[in-house]
Structure 1
Amino acid sequence: MRMKLFDSELKVMEVLWKEGNITAGQISKILKEEIGWNRNTTYTVIKKCIEKGAIERIEPKFICKAMISKEDVQAYETAELIERVFDGSKKKFFAALLSEKTLTHDELQQLKNLINQMK
């Protein structure tokens, strides 16, 4: 499933991906502790995620279930970035990543290994 999630929606999803199916109240408590959100803010964002199909609301007790995986969101966001910034070219994206010169030797080796596995 492909969908655009905003930063606030990602914060709610991160809690669900980490914790599994939990109540909206539990999400609210976690986000209050982590980033200071109040209950209304959390519930508003949860509602938006439900409307998008990212979360399913299960009764009783307003249990929230993630309907999309973190990997799906990462794939969508990566594809969007490559399309928007690199004219859809994965090669340009990869070249830009490598030109940063901020990758460690281990990270470079891991990338080489990934490429070799894809051959």
Structure 2
Amino acid sequence: MNKANKISDSEWEIMKVLWKNSPVTSSEIIKILKQYTSWSPKTIHTLINRLVDKDIVQVKKQKPFYLYSPKVSEEECRNIKTRSFLEKVYDGSIRLLISNFIKDEKLSDEEIDELRQILDSKSSSER
């Protein structure tokens, strides 16, 4: 499903609220987002409506409210966004992504060990 590629950065903030709290009303979304954004309620309503129009968020009328919930899982969206980023920036090469990241980051011994374990388990599972 390529729906996740249609989600803007602002819409992603709405999705994070929905993934964590759904189903929720628009008032609840506004209340949560007001804690860390300066967006007006109108802006938030516009973002919610865009997500509904994109068929990424579903809305159910439960009088007197509308309840919103995601139609796409967070994991699915992350996987699609990651794949899209990998294709766009690194021509699909995960090796380039990882080597670029590791070169520019200071990693603790614990993080290096964890990465080794991930690679070792990946290697043994594909034999």
- Normalised to the residue count of structure 2, the TM-score between the two structures is 0.85
Task: Give the letter for the 1:74 counterpart.
Answer: R
Greater C-alpha Rg: 2
Give the root-mean-square deviation of aligned CA atoms: 1.4
Cross-structure match for 1:73:
77
Correspondence list, 1:36-115, <5 A: 36-60=38-62, 61-115=65-119
Structure 2 distance, partners of 1:112, 1:83, is 24
Structure 2 distance, partners of 1:105, 1:68, is 36
Contact kept in structure 1, 2:26 and 2:67, CA below 8 Å: yes
Cross-structure match for 1:11:
13
User: Which portions of structure 1, spanning 4 or more consecutive aligned residues, are displaced by more than 4 angstroms?
Assistant: none
Unaligned runs of 5+ in 1: none
Structure 2 distance, partners of 1:101, 1:30, is 33
Unaligned runs of 5+ in 2: none
Percent sequence identity over aligned pairs = 26
1:116 and 2:92 are equivalent in the alignment:
no
Which of 22, 25, 41 is the aligned partner of 1:23?
A: 25
